[in-house]
Amino acid sequence: GAVVSQHPSRVICKSGTSVKIECRSLDFQATTMFWYRQFPKQSLMLMATSNEGSKATYEQGVEKDKFLINHASLTLSTLTVTSAHPEDSSFYICSASGTGTYNSPLHFGNGTRLTVT
């Protein structure tokens, strides 16, 4: 079946530094990738939708200059948390949707646990 790989699974960084998280679709081309954030014991919050070759669409309240998303190819999207602060500590999950599909089931990466000290 379709697989989405997310890296790294865990990262600890110091306040003020930037962290890049990668999301790859391994056996299909992903025209659309989604980035979610999950706070402890809460549901997933959609942060942004990225389409290959175009600018990401951010949800209301998500700072586009802080959470930089790049979807340079059909198999890779990256989320960069810039100038990270402790309140950015969270679980970030990406998901991907294949080409030529409409409302196909989304496949998720295993998530990245970000801890900002």
Partner 1 sequence: GEDVEQSLFLSVREGDSSVINCTYTDSSSTYLYWYKQEPGAGLQLLTYIFSNMDMKQDQRLTVLLNKKDKHLSLRIADTQTGDSAIYFCAETPGRDDKIIFGKGTRLHILP
Per CB under 8 A, residues contacting partner 1 are 6, 32, 34, 42-44, 46, 49, 93, 95, 97, 102-111, 113
Q: Smaller CB distance to partner 1: residue 50 or 84?
A: 50
CB of 44 to partner 1, least distance (A): 5
Letter for the amino acid at 39? Answer: F
CB of 100 to partner 1, least distance (A): 12
Q: Smaller CB distance to partner 1: residue 93 or 116?
A: 93
Distance CA 61, CA 115 (A): 21
DSSP string spanning 32-72?
Answer: EEEEEEE-TTS-EEEEEEEETTSPPEEPTT--TTTEEEEEE
